[in-house]
Chains A and B, each alone.
Chain A
């Protein structure tokens, strides 16, 4: 069974540009979450989607947005990139959006974004 797949794995962008990251969840998983990981702040929740609807959102500015498609694949977009956006962006998938013992969250390997 394939895991969570994220593309691209590595990318370098210039300040002011925008970036789109893609995530394919595990087959059958309908919930997709996005996290930002930095050395200073650790793993921080960005947002969660289920059945193409954003169900939960973290404390990030509006430059960070996402969407989910009917096949559960998800994209996140960061506009007007800042140096501080350099981070590992992790996608996670689960069967549904309710965190219960039977609904484990699985992470992809992440997309490393460097803003110069």
Chain B
């Protein structure tokens, strides 16, 4: 079992839809959870981060962490064609020698 599993996609939704992206993980030491967005032929850019459990909202984006279920989600409200990209979840324990472990990413396409 891989440490981080992410739905493989791809995912295609109409403009304005609510998008739900999910990852599960097996390492209970993970405390730092991130979502990165990667446009075609570009490097990943940090979208959201959450430390430990709970929700975090930033505009149309909400990140949710459920440590008891080892499950994290990213919700995108009122999706736009500009949201079309690959979304990667990443997580880590905190402290020295910590490193990011990524999901494989899911490609989202928002149709106008």
Contact = CB atoms under 8 A, between A and B. Distances in A.
Contact of B43 (A45, A56, A110): A110
A108 B43 contact: yes
Contacts of A4: 43
A101 B32 contact: yes
Contacts of B43: 4, 90, 107-110
Which 8 pairs between the two chains have the least Cβ-Cβ distance?
A42-B104, A107-B43, A43-B102, A99-B98, A109-B43, A101-B51, A99-B92, A107-B44
Given A43-B44, A98-B95, A99-B92, 20 more contacts: A33-B100, A42-B88, A42-B102, A42-B103, A43-B88, A43-B102, A56-B97, A56-B99, A98-B98, A99-B98, A99-B99, A100-B32, A100-B94, A101-B49, A104-B46, A105-B46, A105-B100, A107-B36, A107-B43, A110-B43
Nearest to A96: B96
Contacts of A97: 96-98
Interface residues of B, number: 26
Contacts, number: 66
Nearest to B36: A107
Interface of A: 4, 33, 35, 41-45, 48, 55-56, 58, 90, 97-101, 104-110, 112
A42 B2 CA distance: 12
A104 B49 contact: yes
Contacts of A104: 46, 49
B100 A99 contact: yes
A90 B90 CA distance: 15
Contacts of A43: 44, 88, 90, 100, 102, 104-105
